[in-house]
Structures are given as structure tokens and as C-alpha cells.
Amino acid sequence: MSAAGRLALIGLWLGLATAAAAQETKTHLAIRDLATIEGVRENPLIGYGMVVGLAGTGDKQQTMFSVQTLANILQKMGVQIGSQIPTPTVTVKNVAAVFVTASLPPFARPGTRIDVTVSSIGDAKSLEGGTLLLAPLYAADGQVYAEAQGAVTLGGYTVGNASTNSKQVNHPTAGLIPNGGLVERDASIDLCKLPKIALLVRNPDFRITSEMSAAINQEMGRQVATAIDSARVEIRDLPPEGLPEVLARLLSLQVEIHPRARVVISERSGTIVMGKDVRLSAVSILHGDLAIEISTEYQVSQPAPFSNGQTTVVPQTTLQTKDEKAKHIELSEGASVEQLVNGLQAIGASAHDVVAILQAIKAAGALQADLEVI
């Protein structure tokens, strides 16, 4: 092979290697991980109920609605406990009033089992060993969509009676009833009756919606998907026969993602989350340690003998300031977040210091990313 041929082969090999390396750095996700189908979602449910069977850890007598609820339940079963509710003779410590919450999954049919959560609303100490009586669960439209009943499972407990000699683990006043809810009303939607299918992107981005629509059109072989904006893709003219299979195939398509450069910080906890694609302009950071200590000592001032003076307490305030030499780091143009973190760690900056430094860098226009404070 001639020298020119070898050079051409080497150039081709380098080009293929570069393309392979670029392909490896790209990130692809399925459409189902990037978007949801409009209208296909969970619906919150809420209800009021009573937990019974507690070992003296229920609501106290001053919790009026617990006794009223118990009286109403007993009255429906033919037991009359008094004309005035609550009556002074009713003292029950084995019951607790609770709110019952659950999520109605999409396409839930009557007879579907769901998990429910019970939470005490009175002054009960623990729901351990309790059983939830039958409680209706309502949606936002005021209709009953499920019923809940069953034994409460806790993730915590309380040991001891006295407040000074007790131990509590997690929250014993809230628990879970696995499969404790039973769906009674059909709340599912018929996809075949929808004029179009819309995909809602979780993190709106024009490039993602355009690539999603292009991938769907390529898979279907015709123009069926249109990117409406950065958060919505509409799909029309899908065959009603076998629509679930078609949607399953479309939602499994791989789309290249392009995450936005973003830095999220929490001043309360000092948590900082930064992506690898965050870049910095040329910047110089000066970080000086300034420690100020203010201490107050109280001294007693005694009057001179036979001076008719009074003994007084005089505060002596001392102010100490320690200003160390400023610590210095320099970052070149286009520095990565890894270089920034290493530099900040090298100067001994704490998490809260890094939060302040990042805010200053953003204000100086050197942080090429969105800075979000939560």
C-alpha cells in the first residue's frame, strides 16, 4: 500500500474512532422516561375514618370528634350511648380518629386493590395494633371512588409511659395498610375516543420535543407527531386497533437528551448539586477567613468604704477579630465543575462557603449555568 493510501486509511480510522467516542458520550433515554401521556395520571383520594383496637394509646377524652364518630358508628349498628354526644360517661382510649389518603392509579377498574395511608388527627400516642374501620375515600369532585379497611402497619413505635423515660422511633401516629383500599368506581379514560394523543415532557426543552416528534414520525413512516412547544408533542391519526401496542412501541423509542447546565444549591442544608456540563468563564476567587468572637464577662464593682455607694454588676465586653490571609484560586476559561470543586476543596471551603462563592460567581457572570436556590 502506498504512503497516500496508508494516510487515508489512518485518517478514516481516526474519523471512525472520533465518531465512536462522540457516540459514547451521548445520552439516550426512552420517551416513556422523558414524558407522560396527557390525562393518564394518578388521582388523590382522601377520607375520614376511625382506628380501633389500640392498647390505651388512642385519643383522649378531650378529643371531641373521636367520641362523636364512635357514637355515630354505634348508633348505625343499633347501639345508643346517650342523648347528648359526647356523654360524660364515655371514656374510650382504644380508638383514634384518622385521615385516610390514597392515590387512584390510571386505568383503575372496580375491584382494584390500592395501598392507603392513615394519619392520626387527634392526640393519640400510637396506632400500633389498630384496625381501620370501613372508610369511604373521596376524589376532588366529591364522589366516592374507593373504600378502605384493614390492619394498620407502622414503621415506628413508642416505648415507655412517662415523658422523661420513653423512646420513640419514627412516627407511630401514621401507618400504611397494604392493599387496604378497594376501588369502587371506574375512573379510567378510553384512549381510543381521544382525538389525539399528547405527550407532556417532564423537563420542557424545544430540542427534546423536536427530536421526540422526529423519532415518532420515522417509526410510523409518516407525519403523525408535531412538537407544539417545549413541553408538548401531539400525535394524531393513530390506528384505533391495537393502540396500546402502538403506544408501547412509540414510548420505547430512544431519544438523545441534552440536559441544561444547572446548579442547584440549598442554603439551609448546604447541599450543592452541579452537573458535569457546567462551565466557567475565566474567574479569580478570593476567599478570606474572618472570625469574630464577642464574649461578655460580668464583674462586680464594690464601692469605697463609708462612701454610701451600691454594689453593681458591670459587664465587660471583649471583641476579638482574627483576619487570616485570603486564600486564592484561579480557574482558566472553560473550566469544568470538577476543577471548581477541587479548587474550593483545596482552599478549605465548607459547603456553606461554596454556596456564597457560587452566588458571587453567578453575579459576576462567570457561571455559564442556571443557578437555582431552594
179 pLDDT tier (thresholds 50, 70, 90): very high
Residue 221's nearest CA partner among 206, 208, 238, 199 is: 238
Residue 20's pLDDT is what? 41
Structural domains of the chain, with CATH: 43-155+169-183 (no CATH), 190-256 (3.30.70), 263-290+324-373 (no CATH)
The amino acid occupying position 372 is: E
Q: Select, from the ranges 132-136, 184-188, 260-264, the one with the highest average predicted confidence (pLDDT).
A: 132-136
**pLDDT digit string (tens) for 324-371?**
555 666 666 667 766 777 777 777 777 777 777 778 878 877 777 888
Alpha-carbon distance of 302 to 128, in angstroms, equals: 64
Residue 14's pLDDT is what? 40
> For the purposes of burial, counting CB atoms within 10 Å of the CB of 2, is it exposed (0-12), middle (13-18) or buried (19 or more)?
exposed
**pLDDT digit string (tens) for 203-212?**
888 999 999 9
Find where cell 454594689 sits: 311
**pLDDT digit string (tens) for 78-118?**
877 765 544 455 667 888 999 999 999 988 899 999 999 99
Angle, helices 351-363 vs 337-346, to 10°: value is 130
319: β partners = 294
Range in 5-19, 22-36, 334-348 the model is least confident about:
5-19
Q: Which is more confident, 324 or 17?
A: 324
Q: Above 80 in pLDDT, residue 124?
A: yes
For range 147-153, the mean pLDDT: 94
b/e burial code for range 177-213 (CB count within 10 A of at least 16 → b): beebbbbeeebeeebeebeebbbbbeeebeebbebbb
Residue 166's pLDDT is what? 65
For range 289-311, the mean pLDDT: 57
Q: Above 80 in pLDDT, residue 22?
A: no
Is pTM, for the whole model, over 0.85?
no
- Is the alpha carbon torsion for 225, 227, 228, 233 positive or negative? positive
Q: Above 70 in pLDDT, residue 237?
A: yes
For range 195-207, the mean pLDDT: 87
Q: Above 80 in pLDDT, residue 280?
A: no
Residue 90's pLDDT is what? 63
Q: What average pLDDT does the chain have?
A: 77
Angle, helices 243-251 vs 206-220, to 10°: value is 130
Whether the CB-CB separation of 137 and 102 falls below 8 Å is answered with: yes
Residue 259's pLDDT is what? 74
Residue 10's pLDDT is what? 38
List the end-to-end C-alpha distance of the chain, in Å, as a whole number: 64
Residue 40's pLDDT is what? 86
16 pLDDT tier (thresholds 50, 70, 90): very low
Q: Above 80 in pLDDT, residue 183?
A: yes
For 108, the grid coordinates are 383503575
Alpha-carbon distance of 314 to 295, in angstroms, equals: 14
Q: Above 80 in pLDDT, residue 218?
A: yes
Q: Above 50 in pLDDT, residue 131?
A: yes
